[in-house]
Amino acid sequence: MASHPAAEEDTELRQFLIGIGRGATGALLFGLPMLMTMELWQLGFYIERDRLLLLVLVNFPLLVALAHSVGFEKTYTLSQACRDAMIAYGLGILMSAIILLLFGDLKLTMPLSEVVGKIAIQAVAASIGALLGRSQLADQSGSGDATDDNDVKGEGAVKDQMSGNYGQELFLMAVGALFLNLNVAPTEEIILISYKMTAWHALVTIVASIAIMHAFVYAVSFKGTHQAPADTPWWHILVRFTLPGYIVAMAVSICVLWLFGRLDDKAITQMLMSSVVLSFPGAIGAAAARLIL
């Protein structure tokens, strides 16, 4: 017996509104650490406007690609992914503005450029969080839109796609690295740690970052841990996924440091040290993204 069109429309609307609610919750949950960070408040005031514009412009295609993977609902066309990305960006802007007003960091007497700058920076992480809200806050009972093809059932590992979706794997790692980097890159501690480190500290940090990445995804049996085919040698996984993932995390770290002005007027050695320091949380974020997205 065919279902009534009106009932189907009501169901679709309900699922969409549920997705919006999850998105708003995700924007708040994942964006709150940045919204309560003093360095981010200050950064919105003094960041160079051309770099801020670049960050905003880069964020939208990133959201479009992410929406195709973990949007409010399954997307099959570019227009649907763009719609989800615009909704996520809107939720990120709205939640950022509300929380900054609540904390007294936005005032009516502020120049418009300062208000826009503060909201624009905060909205990047909040908009990513809005999209992550679907995959992380979805109902796991199997009802509604929560059951996807890429949901993980039970606690077991999932078979690794060694030959397919390689570009998507690297993209998700970049998103994870970016999200975690945005939370810590503006802080003074990154620069302080980089000044205290020696070359040996940096080398050990790089090795530790790679080892943690590999363990996160393949060794310690977290929910969603990837499992390579039995005949795959260990070095193949390391070379194909872990090392490229660390390079992605390093590249994202360098870009974020540059966007936030942390590399300005610095010697090459100090730039590298800062990048190694930021790549440590970036690598963890990249590895975590492969598990949860």
Which domain-ending residue is among 151, 177, 205? 151
Report how many domains make up the chain. 2
Instruction: For residues 212 and 269, state if they share a domain.
Output: yes
How far apart are the C-alpha atoms of 105 and 29, rounded to whole Å?
19
Instruction: Give residue-wise pLDDT tens across range 177-215.
Output: 998 898 888 888 898 999 999 999 999 999 999 998 888
Virtual CA dihedral for 162, 165, 170, 176, nearest 10 degrees?
Answer: -110
Which domain-ending residue is among 107, 126, 151? 151
Instruction: For residues 38 and 1, state if they share a domain.
Output: yes
Instruction: For residues 216 and 128, state if they share a domain.
Output: no
Instruction: For residues 113 and 21, state if they share a domain.
Output: yes
Closest CA to 16 of 102, 103, 75, 93: 75
Instruction: For residues 147 and 160, state if they share a domain.
Output: no
Instruction: For residues 195 and 89, state if they share a domain.
Output: no
Q: What is the pTM of this model?
A: 0.77
Instruction: For residues 160 and 147, state if they share a domain.
Output: no
How far apart are the C-alpha atoms of 229 and 234, rounded to whole Å?
10
Instruction: For residues 190 and 99, state if they share a domain.
Output: no
Q: Which residue has the tokens 């940096």?
A: 202
Which domain-ending residue is among 151, 176, 203? 151
What are the start-end ranges of the H helices in the chain? 5-35, 38-46, 49-70, 78-102, 112-137, 166-184, 188-196, 199-214, 234-237, 243-259, 268-292
Closest CA to 126 of 63, 190, 195, 45: 63
Predicted confidence (pLDDT) at residue 142 exceeds the cutoff of 60:
no
Instruction: For residues 242 and 276, state if they share a domain.
Output: yes
Instruction: Give residue-wise pLDDT tens across range 18-66.
Output: 878 888 888 888 888 888 888 888 888 888 889 999 999 999 999 988 8
Instruction: Give residue-wise pLDDT tens across range 84-98.
Output: 889 889 999 999 999
Instruction: For residues 168 and 225, state if they share a domain.
Output: yes
In this structure, the number of other CB atoms found within 10 A of the CB of residue 80 comes to 17
Instruction: For residues 84 and 127, state if they share a domain.
Output: yes
From residue 248, give the alpha-carbon distance in Å to each of 29, 59, 67, 81, 282. 25, 17, 20, 24, 9
Instruction: For residues 135 and 161, state if they share a domain.
Output: no
Structural domain containing residue 29: 1-151
